[in-house]
Amino acid sequence: MAASMRIINGRVYDPTNNVDGEIKEICIQDGKIVASAGDDVTVIDAKGMVIMPGGVDIHCHIAGPKVNAARKLQPEDHRHDVHPATPFTRSGTGGTVPSTFATGYRYATLGYTTAMEAAVTPIGARHTLEEFHDTPVIDKGFYVLLANNIFLQKLLKEKRMEEFDQAVAWWISSTKAYTVKLVNPGGDEPWKGKKNSNVSDIDELNDEGLTPRKIIEAFVKTVNARGFPHPPHIHCNNLGHSGNYITTLETMKTANGLRAHIAHIQFHSYGGEIGKNPVSKATEIIDYVNNNSNITCDVGQVMFGKSTIMTADAPLAYVLKGHSKGKWVNADTECESGCGIVPFTYQEHIYMHTLQWAIGLELFLLSKDPWRVMLSTDHPNGGSFQSYPKLIKLLMDKGFRREEMKRVNQKALINTILPDLEREYTLNEIAIITRAGPAKALGLHNKGQLGVGADADITIYDDMEDKEEMFNAPRYVIKSGHLIIENHEFRNDFNGRLLHIAPEYDKKIEEVVQPFFEDYYSIEFANYAVDDHYLHDHEVIPLGETHS
Amino acid sequence: MPLHLKLHTTPEVPLEAECICPDRMRGLSIDDINRLIVFHGNREMHLADFFECSGNNDGDIRVAGDLVNVKHVGSTMSFGLITIEGDIGVHAGAAMSGGKILIEGNASDWLAPEMLGGEIEVRGNAGHLVGSGYRGSTVGMQGGEIFIHGNVKNETGHCMRRGLIVVGGTSGDFTGVNMLAGTIIVIGEMGTRTGAGMKRGSIISLTKTSILPTFSLACNYSPVFIKQYLHYLLKKGYDIDSKIINGHFERWCGDAVELNRGEVLLYAD
């Protein structure tokens, strides 16, 4: 049961409510922030400590079939990183793709209380929800992959836009998703059917007579018109290729003033020619983001060390497996998507890896609106979420950043303006890019803030000079009013909620979709939609303002 | 006087005791050693919860008691000597790079997976997957020597790349499966599918065995390197007839599915 609590004497960073480092009392009752609590409640004296809302990860890969395939692919990643059980919590394994229990607990030990799985095929939704049920502490939701869905592309090709709109709503409702995810729109089908080929331009026609731009445009319009709390979450075409920044700019322009979120934008900010070393185009990309308030993005920072590439961008994974020369997985997910998994290591001495690292930092440091440029490593693609504290230190401490710059490939570094950037993030800005900003972009009004009525998801850090150390081990973590971590140790377990939306749709759309299932799917139509009993504890996030 | 560890409480579930290793005990007092962490199932406990510890911590460790449920003893060790006064559980000597483990009884499965160097001697039998790679790994044993005086079960030397494995008794099926390089010598009989998928390396048997159809007979000869190996094994306490040492061997090339660069050598007389 959630406790009533008062947290006193702490320095509060709550950007949503314009609180920037004030000593302020926070009161909790029934899992929510309240204006006052009685005297006989638990009191936490946070003197010398920093209080922030619980962290919100807007883009990560933590559950579902592809994540599980990555776990199975890398037993060596787990056996040296055992996560022991405690009297309150369960055991697991770590590595770059931790087991379900370890994922929840390790997010909690960084002060994060919400995380969004960024790519789930509709047919994998049931599996994802089962894993969510075993991912403790954090609230979570997922984005459903629809941009390479053959049936939706058929409706677009035939210009059946009303049915397209209804079918998108049906797919979201049937899978209990949070928003739509577009990954390499239109790129998976050529990969599946034409010897690993891919689309290379946003205006390239596919065999269905569609271009990526048409697909993106259709989803942006539908999602905005329906007022989904989070706009389409877009992984642009040409990820990782030299010269891809033009595709990224064109993708953002395609939104035409409507809300759109560009995922891991660092991977889409490269200049240069295909087949040659890329150069940084961070300035061009961030200028566009700074000047267009309809665009939000997460950075997808690369962190040196072990990572695991996992993506629905199957052709990309196929290219990367040639670089890593190790084991990899590519899969075709029926009529819905593709998938690729490649264990990967980012190394300081390699030109490309250093450039990626530097571009990510350039994007952060050139951002004028931290509310719209959010922290992520595209876990585990650019690095594990467990490296967030180090990333925060890179942003907050220019001396540390300079020291790290000495260790990287200098040829790559001089192709960026990173050495000239002096900016240091403040604690308030860190609170924005890790909590308030993602919560706002997700339309989660009760998260990322500490105002009265908000969810009592709170993290309390010791105020330390070394920001990596500070953000690596919060002293207290409170989730929905439950004291989960006290003095750096687990004191409680908690099964977080599923966050999803439930857009309405005309039931007649099922009669349109069903024949396609009978012809091409391996699963009966009646068994496809996820049953409510998979939801466990859940919250339907209401739809917001509509835009068209 | 070596450091004595005596099991006083038999673990109900497997005990992961990677800390029983000279590297991890280096420079520690007996009290410090007692506080080393072991995993009893998924719970962290102290070494003293299961072992009584006495003697001098000088890199020579003797472990006694019913250790069949004790895993990972000597994992990643790089120096010193561990003597097991009886049988030992799975994963003993995993990824060790130096030193010696002497097992006076039997070893369980997964003896010395992904071993890098050092020596293991087993007076009794060993289980499956001696000197192999873990599932999901592409490379098994990469160096060192494993001497087993008794029998072993299946998949000995699975995907090994370097080093020597000697079996005094019989070996099970798939000896040297997916072997990349290195040497396996089996004095007794081998099971079926020897060397399946091997890329390079040598599997030597002093007894006739069945050969996969993807291996082809190259010649019948008396290679000098086998004589040298067998003399070495005599010194290691193996009983080998002198006529075998000077005898002829059939050289079978394979596996053809992996370009025929490996060899199985069978005593021919």
How much is the ipTM here? 0.77
> Across residues B230-242, what is the average pLDDT?
95
Collapsing DSSP to helix, strand or coil, B48 comes out as: helix
Distance from CA of B149 to the nearest CA of A (A): 30
Residue A72 lies in a domain: no
Distance CA B165, CA B149 (A): 11
Residue A466 lies in a domain: no
B214 in a domain, yes or no?
yes
Per DSSP, the residues of A154-175 read HHHHTT-HHHHHHHHHHHHHHH
Q: A82 to chain B: which residues are within 8 Å by CB?
A: 39
Give yes or no for B39 touching A (CB within 8 A). Answer: yes
Is A308 strand, coil or helix?
Answer: strand
| pTM score, whole prediction | 0.91
The answer to whether residue A494 sits within a structural domain is no
Q: Which residues of A touch B44 (CB under 8 A)?
A: 84
Nearest CB to B43; choose among A73, A85, A327 = A85
Three-class secondary structure of residue B35 per DSSP: coil
Nearest residue on chain B to A86, alpha-carbon basis? B43
Q: In A61-149, which ranges are E strands?
A: 82-83, 92-93, 112-120, 139-145
Total domains in chain A come to 1
B232–chain A Cβ distance below 8 A for any pair: no
Shortest CB distance from B39 goes to which of A75, A84, A326?
A84
Specify if A202 maps to a domain: yes
**Mean pLDDT over each residue of chain B, to the nearest integer:** 96
Does the beta-carbon distance from B138 to A74 stay under 8 Å?
A: no
Does B139 map to a domain? yes
The whole domain housing B123 covers: 106-267
A 84-113 residues with CB < 8 A to B: 84-85, 90-91
The A residues from 325 to 364 touching B (CB cutoff 8 Å) are: 326-327
CB contact under 8 A, A84 and B42: yes
Q: What is the Cβ-side half-sphere exposure of residue A491, based on CA atoms within 13 angstroms?
A: 15
A327 with B135: Cβ contact below 8 A: no
Using CB atoms, pick whichever of A74, A82, A91 lies closest to residue B136. A74
- Any B CB within 8 A of A82 CB: yes
B contacts of A79 (beta carbons < 8 Å)? 134
CA distance B1 to chain A (A): 32
- Could you identify the residue written with the tokens 């998260």? A447
Decide if A514 is inside a domain. Answer: no
Cβ neighbours of residue B19 under 8 Å, at least 6 residues apart?
A: B25, B36, B37, B38, B47
**A6/A24 Cα distance (integer angstroms):** 10
What is the identity of the amino acid at B199?
K
Q: Is B136 on the interface with A (CB under 8 A)?
A: yes
A31 φ, ψ to 5°?
80, 5
Cβ contact B42–A76 (<8 Å): no
**Neighboring chain B residues of A74 at a CB cutoff of 8 Å:** 136
Q: Do A327 and B138 touch (CB under 8 A)?
A: yes
Nearest residue, CB atoms, A75 vs list B39, B43, B134: B134
A192-218: string of b/e by CB count within 10 Å (b at 16+)?
beeeeebbbebebebebebbbbbbbbb
Condensed to tens digits (0 to 9), the pLDDT of residues B243-254 reads: 999 999 999 999
Sheet of A42-45: strand order equals A32-34, A26-29, A5-8, A42-45
Judging contacts by C-beta atoms under 8 Å, the chain A residues touching residue B39 are: 82, 84
Q: What is the pLDDT, as a whole number, of residue A266? A: 98
Torsion of CA B229, B235, B238, B242, to 10 degrees: 70
Interface test with B, best of A74, A77, A91 (most B CBs within 10 A): A91
Q: How confident is the model at residue B238 (pLDDT cuts 50, 70, 90)?
A: very high
Whether B133 and chain A come into contact, CB under 8 Å, resolves to: no
Please state the rounded mean pLDDT for residues B11-17.
Answer: 95
B55 beta partners:
B3
Residue B186: the pLDDT is 98
For the segment B202-209, the average pLDDT, to the nearest whole number, is 94
Q: DSSP secondary-structure letter at A537?
A: S
* Low-confidence stretches of chain A (pLDDT beneath 50): none
How far does B44 lie from chain A, in Å, by closest CA?
Answer: 6
**Per this entry, what is the length of chain B?**
269
In tens, the pLDDT along B72-121 reads 999 999 999 999 999 999 999 999 999 999 999 999 999 999 999 999 99
Domain interval for residue A354: 55-66+99-447
Cα angle for residues A109, A112, A118 (degrees, 5° grid): 125
Find the CB nearest A85 among B42, B134, B135: B42
Is residue A513, in this structure, part of any structural domain at all? no
| pLDDT at residue number A79 | 85
| pLDDT over 70 (residue B184) | yes
**Quick check: is B37 in a domain?**
no
Instruction: Indicate whether B138 pLDDT > 90.
Output: no
pLDDT of A1 reads: 62
> How many domains, chain B?
1
- Residue in A73, A82, A90 closest to B136 by CB: A73
Q: Round to whole Å and give the CA distance between A438 and A297.
A: 9
d(C-alpha A541, C-alpha A114), whole Å: 14
For residue A72, which residues of chain B lie inside 8 Å, CB to CB? Answer: 136
User: What's the CATH code of the domain at A144?
Assistant: 3.20.20.140
User: Could you say which of B39, B43, B136 has the minimum Cβ distance to residue A75?
Assistant: B136
CA distance B90 to chain A (A): 14
Q: For A30, left (φ over 0), alpha (ψ -120 to 50), or beta?
A: left
Please give the residue of chain A at the shortest CA–CA distance from B76. A80
Per-residue CA distances from B69 to A411, B126, B127, B146 (Å)? 54, 15, 14, 22
Size of interface A-B (CB pairs under 8 A): 24
CB contacts, 8 Å: B13 with chain A: none
pLDDT score recorded for residue A324: 79
Whether A45 is covered by a domain: the verdict is no
Q: Indicate the SS3 state at residue A437.
A: helix
Is the CB of residue B13 less than 8 Å away from at least one CB of chain A?
no
Instruction: Provide the pLDDT for residue B8.
Output: 97
Give yes or no for B134 touching A (CB within 8 A): yes
Q: How far A86 CA lies from chain B's nearest CA (Å)?
A: 7
CB-CB: which of B42, B43, B137 is closest to A76? B137
Asked whether residue A325 is domain-assigned, the answer is: yes
